[in-house]
């Protein structure tokens, strides 16, 4: 089943090809992180009644471009903003999607989760939420255990905590927030309700 998701329209045997391709493209410690993210993303998905197979697949693929040189990231994913141009590492989610599409990967849900894991899920794709939370809270990071535990009970609450705290942290220090992260912030149900009600949230008000 996982093989069919990872390699649509290809034989099941080729699944091992994807795992091996990821392993060869990232540093050994990164690959360990990738395996932990995939496992945790699948656990979070299962606990929330979501598609654990796609969550696992996206976890395996999410950092495939993470260890590419800056020049390659910029070539694969041209900058959309000053942050991208100044910090090409911010592009590794978009670059990963481009690579996977070039290699024939076609599952849109998984591709979107891979693309959005760096800056935040765009909303409407729970698999992307699982991968984003798993990436920031997998045990090897040594942080965000509270978010990990919350996600196993209430994924939406965990996502809200992760994104609101990230935006609050950055803005509190005068650091520009990536436009895609702001999009994730405004896609949160709690913020969308505020937006629709016509009252700007405190974070929006502080955004230059
Ligand atoms: Fe990443
Ligand atoms: Fe990661």
Region 2-153: CATH code: 1.10.3210.10
Which ligand is closest to the CA of 114, given by its number?
A: 1
Among residues 81, 71, 50, the alpha carbon closest in space to that of 181 is found at 81
What is the Cβ-side half-sphere exposure of residue 181, based on CA atoms within 13 angstroms? 24
What tens digit of pLDDT does each residue of 82-134 get? 999 999 999 999 999 999 999 888 899 999 999 999 999 999 999 999 999 99
Q: Which residue has the higher pLDDT, 68 or 206?
A: 68
Distance 207 CA to ligand 1 centre (A): 25
Distance 201 CA to ligand 2 centre (A): 29
Assign 197 a pLDDT band (cuts: 50, 70, 90): confident
Assign 29 a pLDDT band (cuts: 50, 70, 90): very high
Distance 172 CA to ligand 1 centre (A): 24
What tens digit of pLDDT does each residue of 155-189 get? 999 999 999 999 999 999 999 999 999 999 999 98
Distance 79 CA to ligand 1 centre (A): 17
Among residues 173, 177, 142, the alpha carbon closest in space to that of 163 is found at 177
**pTM attached to this predicted model:** 0.88
Distance 149 CA to ligand 1 centre (A): 21
CA distance 116 to 46: 20
Domain residue spans of the chain = 2-153
CA distance 80 to 60: 26
Distance 137 CA to ligand 2 centre (A): 10
| Residue 68 pLDDT greater than 90, yes or no | yes
Over pLDDT 70: what percentage of the chain?
87
């Amino acid at each position: 089943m996982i093989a069919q998701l990872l390699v649509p329209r290809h034989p099941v045997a080729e699944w091992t090809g994807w795992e091996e391709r990821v392993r060869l493209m990232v540093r050994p410690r990164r690959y360990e992180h990738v395996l932990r993210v995939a496992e945790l993303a699948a656990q979070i998905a299962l606990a929330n009644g979501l598609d654990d197979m796609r969550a696992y697949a996206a976890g395996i693929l999410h950092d495939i471009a993470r260890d590419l040189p800056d020049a390659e990231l910029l070539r694969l994913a041209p900058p959309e903003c000053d942050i991208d141009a100044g910090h090409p590492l911010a592009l590794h989610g978009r670059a990963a999607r481009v690579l996977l599409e070039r290699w024939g990967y076609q599952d849109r849900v998984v591709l979107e989760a891979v693309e959005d894991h760096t800056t935040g899920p765009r909303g409407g794709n729970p698999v992307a939420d699982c991968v984003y939370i798993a990436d920031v809270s997998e045990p090897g990071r040594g942080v965000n255990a509270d978010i990990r535990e919350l996600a196993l009970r209430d994924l939406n609450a965990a996502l809200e905590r992760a994104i609101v705290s990230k935006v609050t942290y950055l803005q509190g220090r005068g650091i520009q927030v990536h436009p895609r992260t702001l999009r994730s912030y405004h896609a949160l149900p709690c913020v969308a309700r505020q937006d629709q009600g016509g009252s700007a949230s405190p974070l929006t008000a502080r955004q230059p």
